[in-house]
Amino acid sequence: MNTVLLLIILIPILEIYLFIKIGSQIGAFITISLIFITAIIGVYYARYEGLNTIRSGVSQLYKNQIPLFELMSGAALAIAALLLILPGFATDLLGFLIILPFTRRIIFNLFATNKKNEVHIKDDLIEGEYEDKDNENDKKL
């Protein structure tokens, strides 16, 4: 079965289960309030971390380095903000884990195939000679 289809089916089931279990323990009003509070706090914190990521990326550019981690962090923060806006406790937990800088580094290291933080670009120069074989057409002009 396709992984995306499986996630589309399992995530709402998990969220509904958590809503029922948590709602029965603390009450419906507090559960709904928690959903709104985590969404608001998460979006503001994602904005704050996003601005820090932009600042860090600009400083990397000033040092003539490729801001690879900052680009990945920006995409991860966008995904985290989306997860925090979606109602649910599991998506909120995952969103908060992605927003925190130290856990974001751990997650990146888990998914990274090449664990180098820097990309090295080689400036190789290839020299050669060429000969224009179409000289007769140039003389007609």
**72-104, pLDDT tens digit by residue?**
888 888 888 888 888 889 999 998 888 888 888
Show the tokens assigned to 38.
Answer: 């985590």
pTM here is 0.66
Task: Judge whether 71 lies within some domain.
Answer: yes
Task: Judge whether 47 lies within some domain.
Answer: yes
Task: Give the pLDDT mean for 3-14.
Answer: 88
Task: Judge whether 51 lies within some domain.
Answer: yes
Q: Cα–Cα distance between 120 and 47 in angstroms, integer?
A: 31
- Angle at alpha carbon of residue 61, lines to 57 and 66, rounded to 5°: 80
Domain boundaries, position 74: 40-114
First to last CA, the chain: 66
